[in-house]
Structure 1
Amino acid sequence: MPAPAPAPAPDGPHLLACDLDQTLIFARKSFRLVSGTAEPEVTLVERIDGVPSAYSTTRALDILARLHRTAVFVPVTTRTLAQYRRIDLGVRPAFAIAANGGHLLVDGEPDPAWAEQVAARLTGTCAPLAEMEALAARLDAAGWARIVRVADGLFVYLVAHSREAIPDLSDVAAEVASAGWSLSTQGRKVYLVPTALTKQAAVAEVARRAGASRVLAAGDSVLDAPMLAAADLAVRPAHGELHEQGWQAPNLTVTTATGLLAAEELLTLLHTWSTSHPEPAR
């Protein structure tokens, strides 16, 4: 285990922990532009097998580039390592977090010491992965799932044929919770993730290593909630899983825009916070 870091200096860097999908980057079907609004200039940030997959506005990426020069920008995602590596935001962050905190990347490469810490934390705190694989197979047998995947040996997710096809999973969520796991639905995806595997734990480790004086965070899903709640200041878009649940926190700001334009708004807010040194809203 690494030795505790000294308390960060008051003038230490700000850390910006930011979710990717549905927070910074979007498939075309998720642009959520208000009817009559002209599509802004967009930049392709991901291809899958050569096919365009995800975009951000050019303005959002310009703001992000400025943030990257003045603060510690940390992409934080539930994507697997391979899925994360498909994304090009035009910057090369010193740190990144993938697989919901399972991977802590330093200069683009996973830190093996962090992986050992994660494995130790999960041991004995939740049912084995094999049990969730069996549960996912049971759900798949109902016919609504198109894909079932194990993500980097850490958690399981299912992709439904459509969001509407996903049945009421309340009973399943209770079963999963009793096993030390959590269930989260994001669009057409249903995630089964150990409760001890969190983005926030990895963000806290990056903040320790970077000597960050303040943590700012952005995200849209239930899996982002601990990270948002722990941040000094946080923002979420006016769409997504947390918005549907009406999730709030004392340190939280909600964008007025949705989709692509929400990304611009939240990045502008993060830039303002990181340069004006506001007091935490607690």
Structure 2
Amino acid sequence: MRAFASDLDRTLIYSSKMMNQFGAEEFQLIETLEGKEISYISNKTKNLLQTVNKEMHFIPVTTRTIEQYRRITLFQNEIVPQYAVTSNGGHILRNGIVLQDWSDHIKRSLKECLPLEHFVRELQTLVQGNWIERIKDADHLFVYLIIKRDQVLEEEVNRLFNWAREQGWQPSLQGRKMYFIPAPVNKWKAVAYLKKELGLTYIHTAGDSLLDYDLIQNGDDGYAPVHGEVLETYPNLRRTKQSGMKASEEIIESILSQLASHST
């Protein structure tokens, strides 16, 4: 049995800012928040995903919290995956319900890292300047900062990231969000668990950020959209030729092409 385990934001779905940057033609609104339009998917990507979801396990793998994932109406009403990985691998949903065995495993693993409260406290003492707007807790597993991107220096980012890694935490900067995530909370580890539980024999993977590196690298067939930040650090990963929504379509078309070749 095959699966397609994919990141969502900036890999399969896009904000209006990303659409303006890379262009978009026919698309569908799939997420709103307090009346504001948040995320979109191209009509072609949606149709291709519907085919994927019928032919194999489609597993959304996202850094979004459970609540944020559930805001995406497409995956609640139209394409409804049996499994989804949220909170950067901190939770697995089966038919929308948290898989408690995995969540308990994560809690035990987190005892190896600097505790969340201590990490945030120390982080705040290290930050120089007033470039942080808010610090957000994500399912009590990790934190992300909403920042003034134009006011933070690259040297400051590198200093904080190096410190975080020394504490056993993974940092990532994505737009105006700066993530700090304990090492056990890892997308690929959650997918590897599902691989074993479901008896998956081949996994296609895709993602755009540094937090997706293990997912892309360890999958049997991994992709990074050419606009992805992960390629700045790992330029040898397989990349798409096209950017934005066209990259999403390119990835899924490649997967379905392989599936067709395998079945003939």
Superposed pair shares fold, TM > 0.5 = yes
Q: Tell me the residue number matched to 1:54.
A: 39
Match of 2:161 among 173, 184, 190: 173
Over 3 Å counting, the alpha-carbon distance change for 1:139 and 1:164 in structure 2 is farther
User: What is the alpha-carbon distance in structure 1 between the residues aligned to residue 140 and residue 262 of structure 2?
Assistant: 40
Whole-angstrom CA distance in 2 between matches of 1:113 and 1:65:
29
Task: Return the letter of the residue paired with 2:185.
Answer: L
Q: Would the aligned equivalents of 1:182 and 1:193 in 2 still touch at CA under 8 Å?
A: yes
Q: TM-score, normalised by structure 1?
A: 0.86
1:153 and 2:140 equivalent? yes
2:28 alignment partner, one of 43, 49, 55: 43
Distance 1:110 1:201 in 2: 16
Instruction: Describe the shift of the 1:211–1:32 C-alpha distance in structure 2 as closer, same or farther (beyond 3 A).
Output: farther
What one-letter code is carried by the residue in structure 1 that aligns with 2:215?
A: M
- Tell me how far 1:210 sits from its aligned partner: 1.8
Residues 1:106 and 2:94 aligned together: yes
Deviations 1:218-274 (A, max 9, x none): 00001000011111111110012113335324xxx3111111111111121122233
- What is the aligned partner in structure 2 of residue 192 from structure 1? 180
Whole-angstrom distance in 2 between the partners of 1:130 and 1:189? 19
Match of 1:143 among 130, 139, 142: 130
Query: Which amino acid counterpart does residue 47 of structure 1 have in structure 2?
Result: T
The within-5 A match list for 1:1-282 is 13-31=1-19, 39-89=24-74, 90-123=78-111, 125-138=112-125, 142-161=129-148, 163-168=149-154, 169-249=157-237, 253-277=238-262
How much has 1:88 moved relative to structure 2?
2.4
User: Between Structure 1 and Structure 2, which shows a larger proportion of helix residues?
Assistant: 2
Give the aligned CA root-mean-square deviation in angstroms.
Answer: 1.8
Distance 1:136 1:26, change over 3 A: farther
AA of the residue aligned to 2:130:
G
Aligned identity (percent) is: 32
Q: Supply the distance in 2 between the matched residues of 1:102 and 1:274 (Cα, whole angstroms).
A: 30
Query: CA separation in 2, counterparts of 1:164 and 1:143?
Result: 11
Contact 2:11 2:208 in 1 (8 A): yes
Is residue 2–residue 57 contact of structure 2 (8 Å, CA) maintained in 1? yes
Task: Give secondary structure in 1 for the equivalent of 2:109.
Answer: helix
Cα distance in 2 for residues equivalent to 1:198 and 1:119: 13
Segments of 4+ moved more than 4 angstroms: none
TM-score after normalising by structure 2: 0.92
Q: CA contact under 8 A between 1:78 and 1:100: conserved in structure 2?
A: yes
Q: Provide the rounded CA distance (Å) in 2 between the counterparts of 1:14 and 1:271.
A: 11
Q: How many residues align?
A: 258
Flag the 1:223–1:204 CA change in 2: closer, same or farther, 3 A.
same
Q: CA deviation at 1:132?
A: 1.9
